[in-house]
Amino acid sequence: MSSVRTLPPLAGYALALGDDALILAQRLGQWVARAPQIEEDVALANIALDLLGQARTLLSYAGTVEGVGRDEDDLAYLRDDRDFRNVQLVEIPNGDFAVTMARQLVFSAYQYELYAALKGSADPTLAGLAGKAVKEVAYHRDHATQWVLRLGDGTDLSHARMQAGLDQVWPYIGELFESAGTTSQLPGVAVDPSALRPAWDSYVTEVLSEATCRTPEPRWRSRGGRDGLHTEHLGHLLAEMQHLHRSHPGATW
Amino acid sequence: MSSVRTLPPLAGYALALGDDALILAQRLGQWVARAPQIEEDVALANIALDLLGQARTLLSYAGTVEGVGRDEDDLAYLRDDRDFRNVQLVEIPNGDFAVTMARQLVFSAYQYELYAALKGSADPTLAGLAGKAVKEVAYHRDHATQWVLRLGDGTDLSHARMQAGLDQVWPYIGELFESAGTTSQLPGVAVDPSALRPAWDSYVTEVLSEATCRTPEPRWRSRGGRDGLHTEHLGHLLAEMQHLHRSHPGATW
């Protein structure tokens, strides 16, 4: 049995949000030195840093609530893939730049609504994090929006790539709005993700329409990331991310 | 004949400093998602971002001075390795964490003295950049110093790794203090790098002594980075860095 399943609900909730941020930060970090412009290289690195900051707060808090002495590094580097609670959307490979921006648009638009609601949480740690993070994510969402508009409403080729990028990430959006088991056990503290969908739909639909892209209608959907069911890609990402720490705990050799 | 050789001296000087920052930023970016702690991941990404910011200022300025319409992206993505003027130190592979920190110590200590002197340049753009960058680099130098002390004066294994890291980068430090051709043509504007060596020696020697490491005495030394002579590693790094931009100029597809 996975150790995550036995966590206190609040620790599990903080971990789910923290893992989303941590894994996407790693994916965005893989763009560094590969972006199409130096300015974009800087932008992606800054977004990754914002997400790492959110992840640190959330993982530390999960460790504190759990109360068995695990810190942010233990949680980031010493869990196996089955114990990660992130949605599968953040673990899929970057693909080309259009795929990365499609994912960034849908994820940032989700995170924006999430943090805007979480500002009102009865938990002061979560409310404080959300108040700070919602400002960062407003920028991430705007940045992705500008790229989706530029590529979608650009040349024939850029439009085709943007549409293909959207088609590729759409099967993964359902998980974002599913109530994980822990959410319903934390009334007034956690946000019910299904309540975020209408505002998300409205924002994303308008961007796609302006970008002259159609809303994809995927024929399958991902499931189970919040319960520790992941794609093979997470295993590869964790192998890379955890290798040095596991070889040299605390890097103290 | 390489196009760099025909640049105005001031453009060549700005390029040399900018290329150092750009290439090391790319190397540090390769650590993202591979660092031993989340905190370290954040620190390395922040250092890379500082260096990218310096590179953007310096490459843009080189393009302006050159006056043939090349912007920072043209200079970063459309030059071949023979036209890069960085020292070879910044292009060598990261190696393990101790090698990366050894390089960061010697390079940051050099850049600190460089920018401290360049603040007094008669060129207002270079003086302005240096005044801002020297504060960033003071942090980079301190960060690397802490790691060298921690690993050097740590366990037997960490000490051996730190010493091996220092041994590996020492053959590359001579280039840092060589007057490139352009420096002597820019009196009052450029800094004579050989004048930086005593302060650098004094700082680095004290760190190594505190870290219980010996100063390496390498049996060979690198030459020629400032004249466009590079290791094979730069070619691989540029292939990765330039691929997307060259495939899709301006990322407008």
CA dist., res. B1 & res. B19, Å (int): 19
pLDDT along chain A (253 residues), means of 10: 67 94 90 80 91 96 94 93 96 93 98 98 97 98 97 94 97 92 89 96 98 97 95 92 74 52
- The pLDDT tens digits for B152-178 are 999 999 999 999 999 999 999 999 999
* CA dist., res. B102 & res. B33, Å (int): 20
A243: closest CA of chain B, how far (Å):
7
pTM above 0.80, yes or no: yes
Under an 8 A CB cutoff, do A42 and B59 touch?
no
**A163-173 confidence digits (pLDDT tens):** 999 999 999 99
> Nearest CA of chain A to the CA of B29: how many Å?
6
Nearest CA to B238 out of B20, B72, B76, B114 is that of B76
Decide if pLDDT at B181 tops 80. Answer: no
Neighbour tally for B76: CB within 10 Å: 25
* Share above pLDDT 70 across residues of chain B, in percent, rounded to a whole number: 94
Which chain A positions have a beta carbon within 8 Å of B59's beta carbon?
38
Of the candidates A30, A37, A73, which has its C-beta nearest B37's C-beta? A73
Q: How many helices (H) and strands (E) does chain B have?
A: 8, 0
Contact B73 A244 (CB under 8 A): no
Distance of CA A168 to the CA centre of its chain: 16
Tell me whether residues A48 and B48 touch, CB distance under 8 A: no
With CB atoms and an 8 Å threshold, state whether B39 touches A59: no
**pLDDT tens readout for residues B45-95:** 999 999 999 999 999 999 999 999 999 999 999 999 999 999 999 999 999
Residues in B closer than 8 angstroms to A42, CB to CB, are 49, 52-53, 56
For residues B25 and B48, is the Cβ–Cβ distance under 8 A? Answer: yes
Q: What is the pLDDT of residue A1?
A: 38
Q: Work out the burial of residue A220: count CB atoms within 10 Å of its CB; fewer than 13 is exposed, 13-18 middle, 19 or more buried.
A: exposed
Please report the domains of chain B, with CATH numbers, ordered by start residue.
4-247 (1.20.1260.10)
Eight-class DSSP state of B69: S
pLDDT score of A251: 52
CA end-to-end span of chain A, whole Å? 32
Average pLDDT, chain A: 92
Please state, in angstroms and as integers, the Cα–Cα distance from residue A64 to each residue in A7, A11, A52, A226, following that order: 12, 8, 18, 20
Interface contact flag, B73 A252, Cβ < 8 Å: no
Say if the Cβ atoms of B97 and A244 lie within 8 Å: yes
ipTM of the complex: 0.80
Give the position of tokens 């002061």: A124
Name the closest residue on chain A to residue B156, using Cα atoms: A253
Q: Min CA distance, B183 vs chain A (Å)? A: 27
Question: What average pLDDT is seen over chain B?
Answer: 92
How sure is the predictor about B249, in pLDDT bands with cuts at 50, 70 and 90? low
